[in-house]
Chains A and B, each alone.
Chain A
C-alpha cells in the first residue's frame, strides 16, 4: 500500500509536464487553430536556454525559470510573425505540416551542435536532497515541480477565464472580425498568445532540465504522448487539459507499478478506449 502512495505521487510529477504542455497546446489551438507540432522542440529549447544561462552566463536556475520562457516565447512570436500568420484561412493541416518542419529544423540544428547524448544540468542547491515521507523518499526537487506547475497552470486558467484580457482572447477566438471592430488589435493578440503557449512549453523544459539530461530530442517523443493526452481531453477547455494532464500522469504512474511493460503505451491505449466510447473526447466539444 505504501508503494502505491509513492507511485501516485510520482505519477503527479509526470502529470505536471503533460499538463503544462497540453495547456500550451490548448491555448495556441484556441487562438490560432493550429496544432503546434513544434511544441516539443520549443520545450527542448527551454531546457537548453537554462543550460546556456548557467554555463555561459553563470545565471542560476531561478532566473532561468523567468528568462528561458521569455526568450523562447520571443522566438515563438518571431515564428508566428514570419511564418504561421501566412497560414490564416488555409486548411488546418498546413499548420501541422509547417510546425512539424520547424520542429525538424530546430531539433536538427541542436543535434548538430550538441550531439545526441545530452548535457548535464544539476539541481539548484536550495532544492537538493529529499525528505522521508514515511512511505517514500521524496526528492525535494520533485515536490517543487508538482507544486510549481500546479500554480502556473491555475494562473494561466485564471488569466484566460477570469480576466479582461482573457475575455478578449476568448471573444477573438469566437469572432475575430467583431473583436477587431471593437478596436482591439487581433493579430497582435494572436502573436502574444502563441508566445504565451510556447513560453509554457519552455517553462516545462526548464523544470525538466535537472531531472533529465538536456538532449536535443527530449521533446520529440514526449510531444506524441501529449497529442494523445490532448485527444483524450479535447482542446475545448483550459481546465479540461490541466486535469487530463495530471490524471494521465497518475494513471501512467500506476501502470509503472502494476504492469511496467505497458507504461509507455497506456496513454495511447486509453486514447483508443476514449475514442471508442466517447468519440468527442472527455471534455466534450468536437473539432
Chain B
C-alpha cells in the first residue's frame, strides 16, 4: 500500500469515525451519570430522519441540524422520564425507543415525501460540505506532512471538527468542573449526591439531555454530511458500536476517541477490499470485511479487552433511603 492509498483510507476513517465518536460521547455523559442508554441507535436514526427531512424542505443544513437535535432530544426526554422519573428498566426503555425510532422514521419520511421511506437527495447548502482548512493548499507540496494535512485533516465538514473538539471539551467538563464532579458522583453513588443537597434527578436529566444533543449531531451528520439524505435504518448499528467503543474506552473521553477511530478504520477497510487484498495477499470476502466492526464489537462486549468497570450506580434507578 502506498502513502496516497493510506491517506485515502485514513481520510475515510475520519469521516466514518465521526458519527461513532459523537454517539460514543453521548453515551459517555449518560452512563457516567448512571443511566444506561442502549437507545443511542434510535436517537441517531430519529435525528438523521429529522435532519434529512428538514434540510430537504428548507434547503438549509443548519436547519436540518437543529431539527435533528430536536428529534433526538424528544427521544432522550422519553428515556429520561421512563428511567429517572418512573424508575423503569433502562435497558427496556432503550430497546423500546430503538424499535419506535426504527418504525416511525420510515413512516414519517414516507408520509412527507412518498419516496419509499427515504428523504429526497440533498444538494448544495442542504448538506454540510467539506471545508478546506487554512493553508491546506499552500502546504500540500511539503513531503509527508503536507499531503497528510491536505488529504486527511483538511477537507471535512464542520461537524467532523466539532466532534473531535468535543473530546477535550468533555475531558475538561468531566474532570475540571463542578458539573463534571457531580455528574461522575451521581453515576457512582447517587446517595452521596443526594445527601450533599444536590438533586439527583436534575443532574441525571441534564446528562440525558446532553446525550440527546450529541446523538442529534451524530444523526444529522449521517444524513446531511456523510450521506445526502435519510434512508431506512441508515445508522446500521452504529449506536451499538458506539456503546462497544465506550466500554472499550472504559468510559474515558480520550480513549473513546481512539476506540472510535479504530472502529472507523475497520469500516473504512470494508470500503476498500482491494487495499486489504494488497496488504494481506489473500482475497478477503467483502461481507467479511463488512462484518469486521461488528465482530470487534462482539469481542469487546464479551470482555476480551480486560476488565471494564462501569459506573457503579449504572442502570439502577435511585430510590431515596434512610
A and B together in one complex: no
